[in-house]
Amino acid sequence: MHQFNYVGNELYCEKVPVKKIVEEVGTPAYIYSSSTLRSHYTAFDSAFAEVPHIICFAVKANSNLSILGLFGKEGGGADIVSGGELFRALKAGIDPQKIVFAGIGKTGEEIAYALRSNILMFNVESPLELKKINEVAGGLGLKARVALRVNPDIDPKTHPYISTGLKKSKFGIDIKQALQEYQLASTLPHIEVVGIHKHIGSQITEIKPFVAAMEKILDLVARLKDEGIRIRYIDAGGGLGIRYGEEEPPHPRDLGIALLPMIKGLDCTLIFEPGRVIVGNAGILVTQVLYLKSSEVKNFVIVDAGMNDLIRPSLYDAHHEILPVKKTQAVYITTDVVGPICESGDFLAKDRKMFRPEPGEFLAVMSAGAYGFTMSSNYNSRPRSAEVLVEGDQYRVIRRRESYEDLIRGE
């Protein structure tokens, strides 16, 4: 459930008319609902209440400091993949003992920064990375807590660009080699093996792949135990999907019901790294219609947000609902909704049957809270949009719109 609803003909975010916000802050603007963020976080958290667990929000989905801070206050941690994300998580006040660090290309500098920050653990993605972490930790006179990210070879049945747990994927260590790698890890002087990690993909709309992957992980945990290697943290990654259009994704509760019996007796802390399921439907991108135009074969609605603001439709052919901020007498057309970027791939919707808006009207691109702003860019020298957080009948800008001066800073 989210908090973007019509009151009469007006779209509201919680108790604030969306129009009021964009008339003040301009467009394009990302608008997030704090009560939706909190309720999504709590839904996930309570699904696993029966076992010791940490919810490490995937910072890549939405890295705004105010949003990270909100999860931190709820007791959440962070799943990071770069020094920059670590910097953000720490700035937002997230407890370093709830930070896990994945990613196949961690640099020596990033490893040292994470060690000095005393994060909970590194999710190690290759044998050479393990060696590097051992070296860097040795240089600092520290011991690094690690989990190995194993690749369980499970098909998450999602878009190929966001599948990560198949054999051919660049992520993790082949589950068949994992035992051997764990044995090696446990002999390294500056490494402390504490966990196991997997993440098989994103926007997964079935429970089955999660269960299949967990079975493989638990099998390995048991074999490790026989070898005298004790796993204290099982990090099950992220990946639970959301409803963009017609999908019927499982509720976090269903994931809990499926996984809890499998892990209950184990003396382990469970970690999850949800991103999209927490923030996806808690945010929208509001854009203003600039022009309409038609050719013999096509209608175009030209808006002031482009692929630089929200790249998901261009990159993954992703579907985002587009709703009027103010409903009027609807005349339906089939149209592309396109941005101002000089690329044919710059669209927010293709051949969409929707109401015909008028120039000047505001449109809400729904389900844009995850991988929206974080994937935005300055392409075509377009300043990045503002971000706004609504709380009840109040709202505040949590990232100001970039200026032209921001564009050339550092050049």
Range 295-329 burial, b when 16+ CB lie within 10 A, else e: eeeebebbbbbbbbbbbbbbeeebbbbbbbbeeee
By the rule CB under 6 A, 200 interacts with ligand LLP: no
CA 358 – CA 330 distance, rounded (Å):
11
By CB under 6 A, tell whether 102 contacts ligand LLP: yes
Tokens standing for 319? 């579907």
235 binds ligand LLP (CB under 6 A): no
List C-alpha distances in Å: 347 to 63, 78, 302, 370, 379: 24, 32, 9, 18, 14
Contact pattern from residue 149 through residue 168 relative to ligand LLP, giving x for each residue in contact according to CB under 6 A and a dash for the rest: -------------x-x----
Give the three-class secondary structure for 301: strand
Angle at 356 between CA 354 and CA 358, to 5 degrees: 145
Token pair of 297 as six digits: 């074969």
**Which lies closer to ligand LLP via its Cβ, residue 28 or residue 241?**
241
| Burial class of residue 207, CB neighbours in 10 A (0-12, 13-18, 19+) | middle
Looking at the DSSP bridge assignments, the partners of residue 397 are 388
Binding residue for ligand LLP (CB under 6 A) from 12, 30, 44, 371? 371
| 239 belongs to the binding site for ligand LLP (CB under 6 A) | yes
The question of whether 342 is a catalytic residue gets the answer: yes
Rounded CA Rg of the chain:
22
Applying CB under 6 A, the span of 30-38, 54-62, 64-72, 137-145 interacting with ligand LLP comes to 54-62
Nearer to ligand LLP, 106 or 312 (CB): 312
Of 11, 22, 27, 79, the one binding ligand LLP (CB under 6 A) is 79
Asked if 273 interacts with ligand LLP (CB under 6 A), we say yes
Q: Does 196 bind ligand LLP (CB under 6 A)?
A: no
**Of residues 335 and 367, the one with the C-beta less far from ligand LLP:** 367
Binding region for ligand LLP (CB under 6 A) out of 206-214, 248-256, 269-277, 353-361: 269-277
- Do residues 127 and 106 touch, judged by C-beta distance below 8 A? no
Number of residues engaging ligand LLP in binding (CB under 6 A): 23
Contact positions vs ligand LLP (CB under 6 A) = 58, 60-61, 79, 102, 162, 164, 199, 202-203, 237-240, 273-277, 312, 316, 370-371
**Known catalytic residues?**
342
